[in-house]
Structure 1
Amino acid sequence: MSTPTPTGRRHDSDGETYCVWQREFNAPIDDVWAAVTEPERLARWIGTWTGDPADGHVRFQMLFEGDDATGEMFTIDECEPPHRLRITTSMPNDGENPEHWLLRLDLEETDGVTTLTFAQNVPDLKLAQGVGPGWDYYLDRMVAAESGGSVESIVFDDYSSSMTEYYRNEFAGLD
């Protein structure tokens, strides 16, 4: 595989700084929505969740990072199938003060092609340098999973080593 290209872009909105990525799928919007919301489909490229979304939260578990079995609590702030999903994550940080990340997912279909726009808030440069390559990696895994490609051929080390400088420059001034 050739060296992957970073695709995240800085965007300031609602008093927050976000990193925004886009991917296109030759698939109907309902199919792409299923790929990002159904536990079995998510498990092919990133992780899975448990709980009842009707309660307004689920527990999300990454499957490819060796995370502990407890996962992260995701609060569902807004859900408009199959177009919009807004989530706030709560991750233990220092045992007392959880870290909260805002995740935004929007889908739009035109002529059978669905565009996924994904964003995460990045309050500081250190976070941008880590989540930038991480989301490029996972979104490329999603593309592979949904297009019949090899998810296993996408190696995180190819992303982290080649993209850190790009994200450092893209989010300069946040430190």
Structure 2
Amino acid sequence: MTTGPAATGTLGIGPHGRELQLQRRFAEPLETIWAAMTDSAQLGKWIGRWEGDPASGKVTFLMTAEGEDAPPEECEILECSPPRSLTVQTSVGPAVWHLRFELSHQDGITTLLFAQRIGDDPLGSIGPGWEYYLDRLSAVLGGADPAGVEWNDYYPRLSAPYEALES
């Protein structure tokens, strides 16, 4: 019997307040993980792609893993320190998400800390979504097809553990 994915996120305090934090570790160089998180073509393999000029401080992000109907997101780059950290703010309509990631490398292992500032959206929907996407990233970096990561294994199954973090 397979148990499926687990809820790995925790609540923490980041530079901009309370946030949901998730970690993944990879036996890859820091620059490889940086590229997977920031290069449009590599992002397209597991989550989506961006269009525009990052030097302007804004790009449009398209969640290609969501299908053809996903609306484009305005993405403002708030902080970028290659190859260690990136902080962005995305918005679709009135919803605004503050996201960041940090990379560290020690003893041949790159650690990715991915975080979303806690806002109005319930953790029971946010947490399973980021678990899903980060597992798609892990699949791509491991040479597997990210399509093998099934959304139905994450949501609503992981909602309750994330909702429990809010109490």
Quote the offset at 1:171 in angstroms: 1.5
The answer as to 2:3 corresponding to 1:7 is no
RMSD: 1.6
In structure 2, the residue matched to 1:21 is 22
Conservation of the 8 A alpha-carbon contact between 2:71 and 2:92: no
**Distance in 1 separating the partners of 2:141 and 2:99:** 21
**Which residue identity does 2:138 align to in structure 1?**
V
Quote the offset at 1:69 in angstroms: 6.0
**Which residue identity does 1:11 align to in structure 2?**
G
Quote the offset at 1:128 in angstroms: 1.0
The answer as to 2:157 corresponding to 1:162 is yes
Q: How does 1:71-150 map to 2 (within 5 A)?
A: 71-92=72-93, 98-124=94-120, 126-150=121-145
**Distance in 2 separating the partners of 1:73 and 1:166:** 30
**Which residue identity does 1:129 align to in structure 2?**
G
Conservation of the 8 A alpha-carbon contact between 1:50 and 1:60: yes
Length-normalised TM-score, structure 1? 0.89
Quote the offset at 1:16 in angstroms: 2.9
In structure 2, the residue matched to 1:95 is none
Q: Which runs of 5+ in 1 are unaligned?
A: 93-97
**Which residue identity does 2:114 align to in structure 1?**
F
The percent identity for this pair of structures is: 39
In structure 2, the residue matched to 1:58 is 59
* CA separation of 1:150 and 1:121: change in aligned 2, threshold 3 A: same
**Distance in 2 separating the partners of 1:84 and 1:56:** 15
**Structure 1 residue ranges (4+ consecutive) displaced by more than 2 angstroms after TM superposition:** 12-17, 66-70
Q: Which runs of 5+ in 2 are unaligned?
A: none
Quote the offset at 1:99 in angstroms: 2.0
Quote the offset at 1:76 in angstroms: 0.3
